[in-house]
Structure 1
């Protein structure tokens, strides 16, 4: 029996997370925390609410994750100069170093996952999965946070 596309994508993502977590166990960073830091690197200075929407977790879940990353010296909250009730999120230099040090591990994981595929096949697979993601993510997102686009 052939698997459905949704099952294959979900199972592949699960296996990626498992492999990532096994390879980065010593770093103290989980796959979900890595994902959060990658999104934050792309959108530094974002508020917690829009970031929770981007990574699709509940705001309270994100708040706990940010607390843990802040305690580990990987993220910091700064007061929003336009709204004193809000906080803006930034990666610390230590987080930037950690992301850079783990990048070869993620590159090796992708290489292992795409073993036997040609460069053209990898490019095509990437483009097709991006299209599927785009089709599924057609929802209203905050248009701007400060001067940065969020889409």
Structure 2
């Protein structure tokens, strides 16, 4: 194998994002906005700090993106009951059909990307990629714990 696994995973994810963005271009929602909406669909009520960490964007960038999505009627902010300075984010009803459309497009794209793989190969691939993710998540958690202890 001539390509490093990190490059292959990154390039595959890049191609997947590019194709999904192309399929969803008609919605007027950017790829990063899609990631935000998809995250909220799984973690509704999360605060902006956690969301910025997940999306790996600066808080000001996230704030502007949230403003645009709120202006479009796709999400709303509510005061965090545990922190008066923070806002929790919630999807609005208008976002739900878009989320469903995104899920359908992502499922179809995943099917196309796995064309020619048997059911066993698909399961193995998913297992291997999940193991990579767990290894990296564990390493990041260990690094964060060491940094906090110092």
**1:145 alignment counterpart:** none
**2:38 alignment counterpart:** 38
- Could you tell me which runs of 5 or more consecutive residues in structure 1 were left unpaired when the two chains were aligned: 141-151
- 1:82 and 2:87 matched: no
Q: State how far apart, in whole Å, the 1-side matches of 2:59 and 2:77 are.
A: 15
**2:67 alignment counterpart:** 67
Deviations 1:35-70 (A, max 9, x none): 111111111111100111122222222222211211
From the two aligned structures, give the one with the greater helix fraction.
Answer: 2
Residues matched between the structures, number = 141
Deviations 1:92-137 (A, max 9, x none): 1111121112322111111111100111111111111111112112
| 4+ aligned runs moved over 6 Å, structure 1 | none
**2:26 alignment counterpart:** 26
Structure having the higher Rg = 2
**1:109 alignment counterpart:** 109
**1:146 alignment counterpart:** none
Cα deviation for residue 15 of structure 1 reads 0.5
What is the aligned-residue RMSD (CA, Å)?
A: 1.7
**2:148 alignment counterpart:** none
**1:10 alignment counterpart:** 10
Query: What TM-score comes out, normalization by structure 2 length?
Result: 0.86
Cα deviation for residue 30 of structure 1 reads 2.3
